[in-house]
Structure 1
Amino acid sequence: MYPWLRKEWLNLLEVARAGRLGHAWLLLGDEGLGKEQLADALAQRHLCQQHIDDQACGHCHACQLFSKGNHPDLGRIGVEGKSIGIDPVREICRRLGESAQLGRGKVVIIEGAERMTEAAANALLKTLEEPAGDSLILLLASQSSRLLPTILSRCNKHLCPIPPESVTLRWLEEQGISATPSQVRICRGAPLRVRQYLEEGGDAQRRELLSSLCRLPEEPSRLAALASSINGDLERHLQWLQLLLADALKVQAGCPAAQLNMPDLADPVGELARQCSTERLLDAQQGLLAIREHCQPGQLTNPMIHLHQWLCRWL
C-alpha cells in the first residue's frame, strides 16, 4: 500500500470490521493517488476465503486467483477511451446477478466512474438500488460533480486527500527519482502523476509548450501546430497554461520568483506579465476554464475548435 494511502485503508478497514461497509463505495480523489490500490484491497478482502485479522490472507485459492487477475467473481471496467458506454456496464451488472462461483460474493470495480455516459450510469443505478446477494460495487472517480446525483446518493463515500509535499518527495526519492517541490505542485501533488511526469520527460515538454505560447505573437504561423500540441494531452496541458497565467498574475502582484508555481520559467513569465494587462490575463484564464468545461470526456465537441479560438484571442 502506498504510504499516503495507509491511513485511508485503516479507516476503511475499521468500517468493514464494524459491519458498516455496505454494498457500494465511491472512492474519490485526484488521478495519480493510486485509489486503485484501495479498491483492490477492499475487493480482495471481500472475496478472501479465510481472513487474517479481518484482512485478506493472501494465501487462499481466492487470493491466489485475485493476485493473478483471474478471480471469476471479480469484474472490472478500466479507463479506456474518453467515456464508459452502456454495454460494459450492462455486462458487469449481469454478472453481478449470477451466483458467485467461489461462494464468497462478487465484486465490481469501475475506474474513472465519472466517465460513464448517462445511459451507462442509469444502467448501473438499478443494480445499486437492488444489489444482488453479497455483492460489493466500488466506483473510483476524481470528479464527483460529473456523477449523477442518484449515483452519489446510493454510495458510501471516501475521499483520498493529496499527501503533503514532504511525503511525496520522500517516496519519490525512495523510488530513485529526484524531484523538486515545484514539480510536485505542477502535478497538483499526486505522487504517481509526478513520477509519470518526470519519467516521460514532462518537464522539457512543458517548457517547450509554454515558451511556444509566449512566442506566439512573434510567430503567428505556429498557431495550428501549437493548438495540436496542446490537444495532444488536453487535461495536463490546460493545467500548465493555467499555471503560466497564474504566475504572470503573481508577478504583476509583486511576488518574487520563489513563490511562482514554475520558477524555472521566471523570465518568460516576467515578459508575459509586462506585455499583458491583468484584464487580458484574467480573460485568458476564463477562456481556459471554458475549454476545460466544453471538452470534458463524453461530450461531443471538438477541442481543436475551442483551442484555435482561444489562441486567436491570445494573438
Structure 2
Amino acid sequence: MTELYPWLLPQFQQMLALVDNEQLAHALVLSGPAGIGKASMADALAAALLCKNRQPTGACGQCKSCLLRQAGNHADLLILHTETQHIGVDAIRQLNNFTQGTAQQHGSRVVLIPVAETMTEAAANALLKTLEEPPAGCFIILITNQYPQLSATIRSRCQRWQLTAGSTPDLTDWLNRQSQKSAPAFLLEYCQGAPLKALRLLVDDTAASLEQALTTLEAYFSGELELTSVVKQLDQNPELSGLLGFYIRQRLIRPLAFLRQQAVLTAYQRWCRDATRIIGQNSALALTGLLTELKSLLQHPEAKWKS
C-alpha cells in the first residue's frame, strides 16, 4: 500500500468506495494548495487502480502489478513529464496513444498529469476528445495547485477533488511530532493549510524567521520601531512578498472598511509588480516606499482615496 498522510485518508476512502462500485470518474482533477499531498494521493489512487489484489486500505503492495509499479516499470501507468515549462501538444498525443492501447496487465490503465495547469491551449484541445470519450478501464488524473488556470472545457469534463487537510489542532500536533519543534500559531494559515509546506518551513527554521519578521512589522505599524530598522531586517528576505501579503490580509486590513482595504491592497500589488524588476539598493528603497505609503494610508486614508 502507498502510505498516505493522515489528513488525506477520509477522501481516499471515498475514492476507494467509488472504485469498488465502478463509479469512479474516468477523468479526475486533484486540486489544492502546494504542500497538501496531491502527488501522494495521486500515487495511492493509481496504485489502487492498478493493483490485482486491492485491499480495503488500497493497493496490496505485493502483487505483480504492484511490484512493477514500485520498480517504475509498469506498462499501464503513464506519468506525463515534460522537459519544458509547459505541457505541449506532443505530450498529449503520447497520452492519447497510450489510452488507446491494450492494458499489458489486463487491468486498468492510468495516466497522471502533474502541474496540469501548464498545458498549452493546443494541448488542452488535444486532450478533450479523450476526456469526452475515455476508453474503458482508463483513468486520467490531473494534479494542480491552480485549478482556475485549467481551461473551462477541461474542468467541465473532469470530476474535481478539492483536497483538504482537516482541523488546525490536529495538523499542529502532526507538525510538532514530525519536526520535534513547536509550530508557530500563524504557520498553517500562512501556508494556506498545507501541512507539507508548513513542515518544510518549520524544519529549515524559515518559520522562526517569519515569526520574527511578523513581529517586526507589528512593531513598525504600532509605532514601536523605526522604518530604517524594519527595512534593514526585512529587505532581501526570500519570503518577503508572501510575508507582506499575509500580514496585510490577515492582520493589517481586517479591521478596515472596504475602501481602505482596497487602497492598501492596491499599494501592495503595485509593489509586487515592480519588485520583479528591482534589484540591489533599489529594493530597499522600494520597500521603504511601500511601508511609508501603507502607514500613510492607515493614518490619512481620505487623502489617498481622492488623489
Percent identity of the aligned residues?
32
Counterparts of 1:37-52 in structure 2 under 5 Å?
37-52=40-55
Give secondary structure in 2 for the equivalent of 1:181: coil
What are structure 1's unaligned runs of at least 5 residues? 254-276, 292-301
**What is the deviation of 1:207?**
6.4
Deviation of the 1:125 alpha carbon: 1.7
Alignment of 1:110-189 (within 5 A): 110-178=113-181, 179-189=183-193
2: distance between equivalents of 1:99 and 1:216?
69
Q: Does 1:4 align with 2:24?
A: no
Return the alpha-carbon distance in structure 2 between the equivalents of residues 151 and 127 of structure 1: 11
Deviations 1:150-179 (A, max 9, x none): 111111122212321111111122213321
SS of the aligned residue for 1:46 comes to: helix
1:89 and 2:92 are equivalent in the alignment: yes
Which string of whole-angstrom CA distances, capped at 9 and with x for unpartnered residues, describes residues 92-146 of structure 1? 3322222222221311011221122222222222221232342110011222211
For the structure 1 residues 16 and 82, does the alpha-carbon distance in structure 2 shift closer, same or farther, using more than 3 Å as the test?
Answer: same
| CA distance in 2 between partners of 1:16 and 1:245 (Å) | 44
1:258 maps to which residue?
A: none
1:304 to 276, 281, 303: 276
Shift of 1:30: 1.5
Query: What do residues 248-267 of structure 1 show as CA deviations (whole Å, max 9, x unaligned)?
Result: 625976xxxxxxxxxxxxxx
Write the distance in 1 (CA, Å) between the matches of 2:47 and 2:227: 56
Distance 1:50 1:9 in 2: 17
- TM-score (normalised: structure 1): 0.72
What letter matches 1:33 in structure 2?
Answer: I
- Of 57, 61, 72, which residue of structure 2 is paired with 1:58? 61
- Which residue does 1:190 correspond to in 2? 194
Q: How many Å separate the matches in 1 of 2:161 and 2:193?
A: 19
Give how far 1:246 is off. Answer: 3.1
Q: Paired residue for 2:252?
A: 249
Q: Check the 8 A contact 1:163/1:190 in 2, yes or no.
A: no
Q: Quote the Cα distance in structure 2 between the aligned partners of 1:97 and 1:169.
A: 45
Match of 2:206 in 1: 202
Change (3 A) 1:245 1:82: farther
Contact 1:30–1:142 (Cα < 8 Å) also in 2 = yes
- Higher Cα radius of gyration: 2
Quote the offset at 1:280 in angstroms.
Answer: 5.4
TM-score, normalised to structure 2, is 0.74
1:284 alignment partner in structure 2: 267
| 1:54/1:86 CA distance change after superposition, 3 Å | same
Taking structure 1 as reference, are residues 6 and 304 closer, same or farther at Cα in structure 2, changes over 3 Å only?
A: same
- Residues 247 and 4 of structure 1, relative CA distance in 2, 3 Å threshold: closer
Moved more, 114-123 or 26-35: 114-123
Gap runs ≥5 in structure 2: 293-307
Aligned equivalents of 2:261, 2:21: Cα separation in 1: 55
